[in-house]
Structure 1
Amino acid sequence: MNMAEGGGKLYRKIVQAILADIADGTFPVGSRLPAERDLTDRFQVSRPTIREAMIALEMKGLVEARKGSGVFVLAASTIDEDKELDIGAFEITEARRLLEGEVAAVAATEINEAQLAELRTLLAQMAQDDNTAAEAADRRFHIAIAEATGNAVIISAVTDFWDMRFRSPLAREVLVKAGSLGTESRMAEHGRILAALEARSPVDARTAMRDHLARLIDHLLDVTETEAVERARAETNQRRRALARRSV
């Protein structure tokens, strides 16, 4: 099945297809879903899209990722029970990578010294331990680059893409689990973007922005992969503690 063409959200189409497979008994309760690589081949989509679909199914309580074993069906469902989970974090970040790469390239030719000074201040603010404040500086950094283009539509689009991450239940689920890239990575990656803008280099600015957001996608993939492992470990430890209490 090739899902590369047609409208709609790709991850949601995969969720619907898996729900249909569960409903018709192809994947009965207790069975293991095909490996991620097999699903990417079947649906002809990327790993992030498959990962997003699996997280959506986990949020519905229909599947569970088990350490070293794969993803297992916990409950049966029907397509009619499918609820729209909205746009996912991978989808938003990929859209940001495409848009903000070009925005940075335009900004490199238009940005003035006052705007560069603001970006330097914001970069310094990203280094603080208060993650909420650092995140706010990060958001402002990206919007300030958009403002350097002087295009109100671009400014609105970049702002909306950023804030969309927390209006979407699916995106919020992934991003809360992921946390931030970490102060060191955040500083280094945004520092490269700033250096390219200071050099007035559209090519370097585009590359630095795209690399930063591609790194974020990789980070989300790593985190969603390890989240199931951490949950399994915590549940195992809880069961062991319960067993120990009963054995006393």
Structure 2
Amino acid sequence: MKTVRLYAEIARQIGGQILADHYPMGTRLPSERELSEAFNVSRPTIREALIALEVDGLVDIRMGSGVYVSAKTPRGGKFSAIGVGPFELLEARRAIEGEACAIAATRVDAHDIKELKTLFDNLVAAGEDVEKAETFDHQFHISIARATRNSAISGAVEALWQARLRSPQEKAMSQKAHRAGVGPRIDEHFAIFEALAARDPDLARGAMRAHLDKVLAALIQATEVQEIAELDASLTARRQRFGLA
């Protein structure tokens, strides 16, 4: 049985409304808050749906302005393949990689610690080179999973990363985050490394979960659209009200 992801279903419903001219070309879509209320889902789910629509060329997401209809039909005449949503992936990674990190802390040896330190140093040295930094970030997380000495755990973590790398929605969201200045989080990776080097499973679990929580928060902040526009409009109205505009 084929699983229909909630954000994908919402993306296709909005796409159908665009095709039916409910939202004509150039029209700004309702805000995330309004759409989340209309579909009775969370705002992150709406955000994933909007990213999917942008990937298919149906909308143009303009930071600080809103989401505008840019085409009536998706590129190539059909919706692109739908993968796991970026927020779903992070939720799964938090659960699985958090525990993997705790287990790894009880099983790492000197070779593992040396390898992780090298990967961390490479991550730092990558600096503003996003492609290199992403590669070392990936290797760092996979090395932790392998340090569990459990092939099922390392396979699950690798599968999550492969889903992340294959997802056009994840790629689009990551690009937005990079443009907003979000990159590999050096201090958080060092905290993970230190917890593993100390062989402290509770500290390691907490460090990994804290890291992924902050990644999620950064992604949400980097992809804020209508809320920023609405705040700007509200502030402008207040300035005008008090003669400050």
Shift of 1:177: 3.4
Is the deviation greater in 118-127 or in 159-168? 159-168
Check the 8 A contact 1:97/1:210 in 2, yes or no. Answer: yes
Is 1:8 the counterpart of 2:9? The answer is no
Is 1:47 the counterpart of 2:47? The answer is no
| 1:193 to 1:44, Cα distance in 2 relative to 1, 3 A | farther
Shift of 1:126: 1.2
Shift of 1:205: 1.5
What is the TM-score normalised by the length of structure 1?
A: 0.76
1:168 maps to 167
SS at match of 2:67: strand
2:235 maps to none
Is 1:221 the counterpart of 2:220? The answer is yes
Q: Residues of 1 paired with 2:64 and 2:113: CA distance?
A: 48
Shift of 1:66: 4.0
Q: Please, which runs of 5 or more residues in structure 1 have no aligned partner? A: 1-5, 230-248
Q: For this pair of structures, how many residues does the alignment match?
A: 219
1:98 maps to 95
What is the TM-score normalised by the length of structure 2?
A: 0.76
SS at match of 1:71: strand
Is 1:56 the counterpart of 2:52? The answer is yes
Check the 8 A contact 1:89/1:175 in 2, yes or no. Answer: no
Shift of 1:150: 0.8
SS at match of 1:72: strand
For 1:196, give the aligned amino acid: A
RMSD: 2.7
Q: What percent identity do the matched residue pairs reach?
A: 44
Q: Residues of 2 paired with 1:19 and 1:199: CA distance?
A: 51
| 1:137 to 1:29, Cα distance in 2 relative to 1, 3 A | closer
1:243 maps to none
Check the 8 A contact 2:90/2:212 in 1, yes or no. Answer: yes
Check the 8 A contact 1:11/1:52 in 2, yes or no. Answer: yes
Is the deviation greater in 60-69 or in 168-177? 60-69
SS at match of 1:190: helix
Q: Please, which runs of 5 or more residues in structure 2 have no aligned partner? A: 229-245
Alignment of 1:92-241 (within 5 A): 92-129=89-126, 131=129, 132-179=131-178, 181-182=182-183, 186-225=185-224
